[in-house]
């Protein structure tokens, strides 16, 4: 009864909180977003979507006539709809923040936009993707799957995983804003994140010692994916020639204006000097 009451009251509390804090917009910032818009985007909207997902799932499960396949299809479609809606909420939060800043005629919107684009969004996507992959791999260590295919097929799939890691490394390099503050660069942070993911998965191997079979396929696939990424990172660090080769590959993959970015760190330091 308590859980049901909580689910019923949740949207009322969320909407009431949203209405109450609306008048405080434009007062403070967090991660270069207006604080109220940040709360809308990262707290209230996700809670409301959890409420939608919970009730949608309960409605589907109470209908015993639906097969597992149809449950998956309907749940996936509903989740995609929520993702699309959330994308527009994020766009609204960003543009609303710009609108609130427009009262200052000297405010640099391009600098504000590039801070979020070049560093914040790139780093969140990097750490978020790595974290999700590590979580999936670790879950498979504790929850082996009831699937079977031969060891030869498994080895072939793991080779694909290693190649995917190489492609993943190139993808991360394409996200490098080509900016550096002292010894902190996007490339250095990305390599540390890749290495940390690989180290966590290897630690899981020594603790759980999984068998080399299809039941742990997802763990082995994610591990070889990170192996491909860390191998590329290690060779690019040790060999200037190999790094130049990677840079040439990236140059062939990126758009014509890639790397022509606003120098955020330089501009920020200049602004402090003027202040």
Three-class DSSP category at 184? strand
Of 111, 115, 108, 148, which is closest to residue 30 (Cα–Cα)?
115
Asked if 137 contacts 219 with a C-beta cutoff of 8 angstroms, the reply is yes
Per-residue pLDDT tens over the stretch 230-273:
999 999 888 888 888 888 888 888 777 777 777 776 555 555 54
On the 0-12 / 13-18 / 19+ scale of CB atoms within 10 A, 95 is exposed
- Which are the contacts of 123, defined by CB distance < 8 A and separation ≥ 6? 186, 189
> What is the model's pTM?
0.80
Q: Using alpha carbons only, give the angle 79, 81, 86 rounded to the nearest 5 degrees.
A: 95
Average pLDDT over residues 94-112: 82
Rounded to the nearest 10 degrees, the angle between the axes of helix 151-174 and helix 240-253 is: 80
**Strongest mean pLDDT among 104-108, 118-122, 135-139, 270-274:** 135-139
Per-residue pLDDT tens over the stretch 167-195:
999 999 988 887 766 667 888 899 999 99
Per-residue pLDDT tens over the stretch 12-56:
899 899 999 998 988 898 888 899 999 999 999 999 999 999 888
Size of the chain, expressed as the number of residues it contains: 275
Q: Output the pLDDT for position 126.
A: 93
Give the Cα separation of 256 and 81 in Å (integer). Answer: 33
- Which are the contacts of 161, defined by CB distance < 8 A and separation ≥ 6? 220, 221, 222, 223, 224, 225, 228
Give the Cα separation of 106 and 10 in Å (integer). Answer: 41
Asked if 228 contacts 165 with a C-beta cutoff of 8 angstroms, the reply is yes
């Amino acid at each position: 009864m308590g859980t049901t009451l909580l689910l019923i009251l949740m949207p009322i509390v969320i909407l009431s909180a949203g209405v109450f804090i609306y008048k405080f917009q434009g007062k403070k910032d967090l991660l270069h977003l207006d604080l109220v818009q940040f709360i809308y985007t990262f707290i209230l909207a996700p809670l409301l979507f959890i409420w939608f997902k919970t009730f949608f799932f309960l409605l589907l499960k109470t209908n015993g006539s639906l097969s597992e396949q149809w449950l998956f299809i309907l749940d996936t479609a509903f989740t995609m709809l929520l993702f699309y809606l959330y994308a527009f909420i994020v766009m609204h939060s960003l543009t609303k923040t710009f609108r609130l800043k427009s009262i200052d005629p000297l405010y640099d919107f391009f600098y504000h936009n590039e801070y979020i684009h070049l560093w914040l969004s790139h780093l969140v996507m990097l750490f978020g993707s790595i974290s999700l992959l590590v979580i999936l791999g670790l879950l498979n260590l504790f929850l082996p799957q009831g699937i079977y295919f031969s060891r030869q097929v498994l080895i072939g799939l793991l080779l694909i995983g290693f190649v995917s890691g190489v492609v993943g490394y190139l993808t991360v390099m394409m996200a490098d804003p080509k900016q550096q503050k002292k010894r902190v660069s996007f490339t250095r942070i990305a390599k540390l994140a890749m290495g940390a993911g690989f180290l966590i998965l290897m630690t899981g191997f020594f603790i759980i010692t999984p068998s080399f079979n299809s039941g742990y396929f997802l763990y082995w696939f994610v591990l070889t994916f990170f192996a491909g990424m860390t191998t590329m990172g290690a060779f690019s660090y040790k060999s200037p020639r190999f790094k130049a080769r990677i840079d040439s590959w990236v140059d062939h993959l990126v758009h014509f204006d890639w790397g022509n970015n606003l120098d955020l760190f330089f501009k920020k330091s200049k602004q402090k000097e003027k202040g």
